[in-house]
Amino acid sequence: MSIVEALVCLYYGGHLTADPHQPRLLGRDRFILSKGHAGPALYAVLADRGYFPLDWLHTLNQPHTNLPSHPDMHKTPGVEMTTGSLGQGFSAALGAACAARLKQDGATIFTLIGDGESQEGQIWEAALYASQIRAGNLIAFTDYNGLTIDGTTDEINSLEPLDDKWRAFGWHTAAVDGHDILAIDEALVEARLRTEQPSMIILATRKGKGVSFIEAAGCASHNMPISDAQVRAAIDELDPNA
């Protein structure tokens, strides 16, 4: 839930040029969720945009589902790369950006990584190379919610100062409130102007944003059972008019 605003901005804010009814259209912009375990957030957006029927959402993680926990590009329309092992989707996004440049199709490749994921060496491998080759058509987000499974990022491997790190790697870097859609939109507009360097938009976020009992759970919310009553309470809290 920490990435909902960013996804909404991409898919509804006119930044991701793509057609839900032609998911394999050549030259489309692409979004790769490198933080694959956030798959369900992406699914909600893809379903709402019409990439697949809404009732698929009830099949999450069911046997033979088209919506597995971690996105699979062979199972779900709108998923551009199979991800789930942290760091790899980010490299793949860079590869796609290079391919787009080689094809000269004008596509922008968007990707999103986690702050836990930012501890993986592969992230920094790709960061180095993206800057080296001036991958201006690559725009990335970091979901900086400060939490991993075993504790806060500050307790385990502090990333601070994260924005300085990305700047030091040669990326155009912005840090915004990850739940402020207008701020994210502004950052995206600015990022798209950068044609000579890749862009990193660091989203200051809270896990479970908008649902008080999930926010309160902290690290435990990475994987927590939720009862039907809690689901109803959560929906009420998110949208009292629903």
Partner 1 sequence: MSTDSRIVVVNADLANANGTAALQVKYPDRFFNVGVQEANMASFAAGMATYGYIPFIVTFAPFATRRIADQLMVSIAYAGTNVKIIGGDPGVTAELNGGTHMTFEDVAITRSMAGMMVVEPCDGTSLASLLPQIVAYDGPVYMRMYRKLAPVVHRAGTVLNLMRAEIVRSGRDVSLIASGIEVQQALQAAELLAHEGIEADVLDVHTIKPLDTETILASVTKTGAAVTCENHNIMGGLGSAVAELTAEKHPVRLGRIGSQDRLGQVGKLPFLLEEYRLSAPHIAAKAREVLSLNAFTGSAH
Measured CA to CA, the distance from residue 178 to residue 169 in angstroms comes to: 22
Nearer to partner 1, 3 or 109 (CB): 109
Number of residues in contact with partner 1 under rule CB under 8 A: 33
- Provide φ and ψ at 102, rounded to 5°: -65, -40
Cα(first)–Cα(last) distance of the chain, in Å?
Answer: 18
CB of 152 to partner 1, least distance (A): 26
Residue list 18-47, contact with partner 1 (CB under 8 A):
32
Task: Report the DSSP beta bridge partners of residue 18.
Answer: none
Question: How far apart are CB 105 and partner 1 at their closest, in Å?
Answer: 9
**What's the closest the beta carbon of residue 37 comes to partner 1, in angstroms?**
13
| Among 203, 168, 29, 39, residue whose Cα is nearest residue 110 | 29
Q: What is the DSSP letter of 144?
A: E
Q: Is 99 in the site for partner 1 (CB under 8 A)?
A: yes
Is 181:189 a contact under the CB 8 Å cutoff? no
**Of residues 10, 18, 42, 100, which one binds partner 1 by CB under 8 A?**
100
Residue 231 CB contacts under 8 Å (≥ 6 apart), including other chains = none
Interaction between residue 122 and partner 1 (CB under 8 A): yes
Radius of gyration of the chain (CA): 17
Min dist CB 121 to partner 1, Å, is: 7
CB-nearer residue toward partner 1: 123 or 202: 123
Q: Does 64 bind partner 1 (CB under 8 A)?
A: no
Provide the b/e sequence for 111-141 (b: ≥16 CB within 10 Å). Answer: bbbbbbbbbbebbbebbebbbeeebbbbbbb
Residue 69 lies near partner 1 (rule: CB under 8 A):
no
Applying CB under 8 A, which part among 40-48, 50-58, 80-88, 209-217 lies near partner 1? Answer: 80-88
Q: Is 136 in the site for partner 1 (CB under 8 A)?
A: no
Instruction: Give the span between the Cα atoms of 40 and 43, in whole angstroms.
Output: 5
- Closer to partner 1 by CB, 17 or 85: give it: 85
Bridge partners (DSSP) listed for residue 173: 200
Q: CB nearer to partner 1: give 129 or 213.
A: 129
Region near partner 1 per CB under 8 A, out of 5-13, 118-126, 200-208, 222-230: 118-126
By CB under 8 A, name the one of 16, 96, 176, 214 that touches partner 1.
96
Asked if residues 238 and 215 have their Cβ atoms less than 8 Å apart, the reply is no
Which residues lie near partner 1 (CB under 8 A)?
A: 32, 72-74, 80-82, 84-85, 87-100, 102-103, 121-122, 125-126, 128-129, 132-133
